[in-house]
Structure 1
Amino acid sequence: MSTLLYTGTSQSHPIRRVQAGPLTALYENGFLRYVKLGDDEVVRMIYFALRDARWNTLDWQLTDEQVEIGEQSFRISYTGGSFEGVTEIIRWQAQLTGDASGRIDFGLEGEVLVPFWRNRAGLCVLHSLAETVGRPAIVETPDGRTVEGIFPESITLQQPFQDIAVLRWTLPHQDVVQLSVAGDVFETEDQRNWGDASFKTYCTPVRLPMPVHIEPGDRISQRVTLELVNRSAEERMATAQQLRLVRPDGPENPLPVIGLCQALDTPKLKTDEVTQLRRMAPHHLRIELNFGRPDWSEWFTVGLSEAKKLQAEVLLAISFTDNYPAELDYLQQAVSWLGVQAWAVEVFSLTHPATPDGLLTAVAEPLRALFPGALLGAGTTGPFVDLQGATFETDRTDYLVCSLNPQMHLTGDWTVIENKDAHADTVRSMQALLPSTAIHVGPVSLRQRLSGVPTNFDTDWPADIDPRQPSLLAAGWFLGSLASLTSAGAARVTFFDTKGGRGVIQGLDAPLFPDRFSAEPGDVFPVGLVLQLLADWKGAVAKPIAFLDPVQGSALWLTWHDRHLLVLANHSPEPQTVDLGEWPVTPAEVCVLDEITAPAAIKTGTLPPVAPFAETAITLNPFAIVALMSA
């Protein structure tokens, strides 16, 4: 039960700590994560992937693993395969070594077994943001040239480094790191474009023609080598206390208004479900009015009824086809018949990644006339990258919007958690695109939403439902995402669906895939319980606070007049103790949502009872969420 509650699945891979001299890392399922020198993250991950012609990452299975771990070194070898369904496409052989000098080597050999169209096949290295953003780097190219560059602060579509044979950069404590690559031409991209908290150095430049057809017998041979080429005089060890609160520089920002999405293709909200959701006090309900769906008017009517029951404002997310003049007429007739009042209206195009200027020009005035006083938003239902190159006029739109999810590239638990920290970068880059304009982010979800595509729940598992939705991990991720968005000044945020596999409650209907989705009728998911916790804090101001290692935990500190609320999330599968010296509020009360209290709270739909608290430290159980409130 605990594993399902923690992460929504009983499947896991063993995690081993390895060391290469002064460097430490975690080894999991064939890949290296969190290569560190003391507390500095040297690289986030070294891995490989096979991606098809549509950029889907194929499943990976590891076999014949041999692991030798010494005090200052390691040697790992294995065989594995990349699979499309049950068909093995490439058979891989890998060897990972680390020695006492601080050198890590990852060699990879692959043999193609069946014909396949690929966009990428081979090694990738992820670079964390905290140790790279704004820092200079030097590239040595395969032809011997030296090129100086910088890890950009704002999100950029242009690759910051190209034609890499060697990439060298300096860590915060002046240690110089060198990454050498061989077997292909490598370059670096800014993954924040897709909501990832990293830069990625990868094989096969995107400027080359793709997809590429590979044949049986084709071979891939690549290698990356990571080493310290210049150590600082300062000897450092990793901080023993991982969950250490710090007070970063930054403004105190209002907590964004928080709304939910209408759950399409699910039964209408029932009375008891409305009662559960109203405890969370969503500010608005996002109603997706998609003219690409023949049943748009039916779901429009249902959404308006549900918003009224929830006492939530109406946010209309309207996706037009190229036949938007006729669709405007249909909308005017529906609004006249239903008597719609909207708080905000968002304009999107089903034929363009971002709202085209011509569409916004054509529909802005009629929409403002149809919904007097409503805010008008434009942008994209996709990730930030869809806004790159788009233009918006401030006199036609009141705010800019895009969506976020943490799984555009990889899907593991660590990936989900670490990518929440890119959400602040997304907001700041949106502000740079349209200065002095409010920023709305949403939908924010665990997986990319299949916007506008009717879901057939009678067939395959829907690609936008994540089995971690009813878990404590998802609740902690929500808290971290909200804290990141708040720190950058997002004005409004729309998170998950009201109910179902993408929702904050299960609803009274059973999960459609009970063997893969650990929930029962009537359950309120942990993320819904955290929303309940925040329901009384509308209008609060967030003070800057974070954990030294944000992958291990998230924190949100709210103040409202003389009241204080500190919410902490442990993202680790291990208990973590937090020193509360940075939160000097006593006396206080504590509410704990963890493996002990969550099962009952999920069934009753109410938060665990509070208890008096007057300690200077608190221990968080695995994946726990703890709220400290001024008494």
Structure 2
Amino acid sequence: MTDDEAQNLFGTTQPPAPYRILRAGALSARLENGNLRYVSVEGIEILRAISYVVRDRDWGTLAPRIEDMKVEEGAEEFTVTYNAVFVNAGATLKVSTRIEGSADGRLSYSANAFAEQDFETNRCGFNILHPIRDVAGAPVEVEHCDGCREKTVFPELIEPWQPFKNIRALTHWPAASIKATCRMEGDVFEMEDQRNWSDASYKTYVRPLALPWPYILPGGQENQQEVELLVEKNTTGASSSQTARHDGPVTIEVGPPAGMTLPDIGLLITPEESEPALNSADRLFELKPKSILLHFDPTTHHDPQFWGHYKTLQDIYPAEYDLEYVVAGEGDLDAEFEELARKVSDSGITLNSLAVCPSVDRQSTPPGSDWPECPPLEDIYRAARGAFPGLALGGGMFSYFTELNRKRPPLDLLDFVTHSTSPIVHAADDDSVMETLETLPHITRSARAIIGANTSYRIGPSTIGMRMNPYGSRTFDNPDSERICMTSDDPRQRGAFAAAWTVGYAARIAAAGIEKWIPAAFSGPRGVLTAAGDDFLPVGRAITELARAQELPLHVYKVSDERKLAALGFDTATGRAILIANLTSNELEISTAGTDMLGPFETRWL
């Protein structure tokens, strides 16, 4: 791939991490950055990943320097050895690793960590990821550290807290013919449901969150851990429906009308971006969003001129203007909301709705931590109602589904519930970001289980870059346009990657009955415009196509491999339209089963 092609696709010329496929008989795994991904037997995915992870005090993932890697591979076995060097705040951690796989279904990954001096970390050790496809709701046997065994299931709805603790081994049945046991040694492990953050996995990780963090690995001491996987022919009768994955044409099949339309599409405008948004306001008429989401945070110093920018923008472009307000909550709530109502009235802005979220709730409260002081949500909502009578009122979280799942609002005081998503909380490589689309139906089902069928449901902003970091003190700068976690400025927002991801997002939430969706900001690093503001980025053109279809009846298209392709169909006045996004960086062969309405077309990134 040339630099120009990479720039167009990913918004950066930085290449993705290289990898190689390891094979031992029917066992295979992808070796990438020293870790294993897509551990499979006979083409059936057993584990999504086994990784040795070191995180800093802001839960940022430290990138290791890999040294002395050696790979030996034969027909029946493979062995990988290397050293990984992690540096944090001037301290160094050296990890010696060994990976062995054999054709009899055995895989081991051991790590011996040595801190040259005291090394601070929030987490240091193995993460094991089980996939969610055909695993959510399926049987699992948990062996605990005391030797007792528990027969249960992987959570069907997204579990807000750890579903399993004190884990020594997990046994599940990826297919009717396969039993897989993953054993973890060297520390106490527990599991979290990573679907909370839109990761397509259940994560079993080292060191319980109830223990203090950050913590110190003492200088001069070793820490040894090991993960062992044994895959056997299943004789117990327990099974799941997973079948082997095969390459080949992706089939698109036309199904029945969906009986609904897309959510109303909006764009976010913050005080910092209000002036650039105003300068490019004419572009809104091309994109035609139904709503504009305005943001105001009184705990952050903003030039008060942004209220005038908001009003002028509304005068130029008529739409539904919704305000999300961060509640300071440091004094009298009635007085705080009366002051907000005065600002809105003085600006002349006409609001369609108001969503509120306490400032302290933008920071996550992990398991085992004390909840921060916060006015009761009932008091916040009543004060908002009093200052804005008759206006639709929303609650929930301005951060992610995780926080909504852990702190559920009193629904009888709200007209709608909202939350955001970001795909780069835990991993930022291209595959992991696209895999988050797989989780969206799980999130929307779980959200509906919380808020019920009659409360309106909104999602967004749902950009690749993080709007905030609930898990640390900041989002991370990205001056070199890299693929990194927890940055507010992801380069792929500027490439065709974001366009494809956004169409894939629309396809995965289309049938969820969502009222409004904010897929991007208007301008800025998470926006739809070029830096100069004079043209749309690819994601802007994709959202323009989605916005044009907002009121058109949706038509169901069944895609044989939703990991590779997203498709949305619409009934138009002249026939039927289809919007297709290639979710890979490769050319795809497409087969249109049962219909010739598509005709020939070029497969490309949108």
> Does structure 1 retain, via aligned residues, the 8 Å contact 2:251–2:593?
no
Deviates further, 290-299 or 253-262: 290-299
> Does structure 1 retain, via aligned residues, the 8 Å contact 2:274–2:309?
no
Give, in angstroms, the shift of residue 181 of structure 1: 1.2
Q: What is the identity, as a one-letter code, of the residue corresponding to 1:578?
A: I
From 95, 114, 124, give the equivalent of 1:121: 124
Q: What is the identity, as a one-letter code, of the residue corresponding to 1:90?
A: L
From 34, 42, 60, give the equivalent of 2:46: 42
From 450, 463, 468, give the equivalent of 2:468: 450
Whole-Å Cα distance in 2 between the matches of residues 456 and 176 of structure 1? Answer: 41
> Does structure 2 retain, via aligned residues, the 8 Å contact 1:273–1:507?
no
User: Are residue 293 (structure 1) and residue 280 (structure 2) matched?
Assistant: no
User: Residue 255 of structure 1 corresponds to which residue in structure 2?
Assistant: 262
Residues 58-97 of structure 1: CA distance to partner in whole angstroms, max 9, x if unpaired?
2233222223344454322222222337x45311222222
User: Are residue 489 (structure 1) and residue 513 (structure 2) matched?
Assistant: yes
> Percent of counterpart pairs with the same letter?
25
Residues 112-157 of structure 1: CA distance to partner in whole angstroms, max 9, x if unpaired?
1332332210111111111310101001223321111211111112
Give, in angstroms, the shift of residue 619 of structure 1: 5.8
- Mapping of 1:223-622 within 5 angstroms? 223-231=226-234, 238-241=245-248, 243-245=250-252, 252-266=259-273, 268-269=275-276, 273-295=280-302, 297-322=304-329, 323=331, 324-353=333-362, 356-369=376-389, 372=390, 374-435=391-452, 436-450=454-468, 463-508=487-532, 522-545=534-557, 547-560=559-572, 563-581=575-593, 584=595, 586=597, 588=598, 614-615=599-600, 620-621=603-604
Whole-Å Cα distance in 2 between the matches of residues 15 and 459 of structure 1? Answer: 25
Q: What is the identity, as a one-letter code, of the residue corresponding to 2:603?
A: L
Structure 2: unaligned runs, 5 residues or longer? 363-373
Give, in angstroms, the shift of residue 253 of structure 1: 4.0
User: Residue 75 of structure 1 corresponds to which residue in structure 2?
Assistant: 79
Whole-Å Cα distance in 2 between the matches of residues 421 and 430 of structure 1? Answer: 16
Q: What is the identity, as a one-letter code, of the residue corresponding to 1:431?
A: R
**CA separation of 1:147/1:70 partners in 2, compared to 1, >3 Å: closer, same or farther?**
same
Whole-Å Cα distance in 1 between the matches of residues 308 and 433 of structure 2? Answer: 34
Give, in angstroms, the shift of residue 541 of structure 1: 3.5
**CA separation of 1:28/1:61 partners in 2, compared to 1, >3 Å: closer, same or farther?**
same
Whole-Å Cα distance in 1 between the matches of residues 548 and 596 of structure 2? Answer: 19
Give, in angstroms, the shift of residue 546 of structure 1: 5.2
Structure 1: unaligned runs, 5 residues or longer? 509-520, 589-613, 626-631
Where 2:156 maps in the other structure, the secondary structure is coil
Whole-Å Cα distance in 2 between the matches of residues 222 and 454 of structure 1? Answer: 31
TM-score (norm 1): 0.84
Residues 455-509 of structure 1: CA distance to partner in whole angstroms, max 9, x if unpaired?
999999993111111111111111111222223222211122111211111242x
Q: What is the identity, as a one-letter code, of the residue corresponding to 1:357?
A: L
User: Residue 5 of structure 2 corresponds to which residue in structure 1?
Assistant: 2
**CA separation of 1:266/1:488 partners in 2, compared to 1, >3 Å: closer, same or farther?**
closer
Greater relative contact order structure (CA < 8 Å, 6+ sep):
2
User: Are residue 175 (structure 1) and residue 178 (structure 2) matched?
Assistant: yes
Residues 577-608 of structure 1: CA distance to partner in whole angstroms, max 9, x if unpaired?
121216x252x5xxxxxxxxxxxxxxxxxxxx
Residues 282-325 of structure 1: CA distance to partner in whole angstroms, max 9, x if unpaired?
11111101111232643233223224433332010011111333
Q: How large is the RMSD of aligned CA atoms in angstroms? A: 3.1
Give, in angstroms, the shift of residue 350 of structure 1: 0.9
> Does structure 1 retain, via aligned residues, the 8 Å contact 2:258–2:553?
no
> Does structure 1 retain, via aligned residues, the 8 Å contact 2:83–2:94?
yes
Deviates further, 120-129 or 248-257: 248-257
Whole-Å Cα distance in 1 between the matches of residues 509 and 447 of structure 2? Answer: 12
For this pair of structures, how many residues does the alignment match? 578
Whole-Å Cα distance in 2 between the matches of residues 539 and 310 of structure 1? Answer: 19
Q: What is the identity, as a one-letter code, of the residue corresponding to 2:285?
A: R
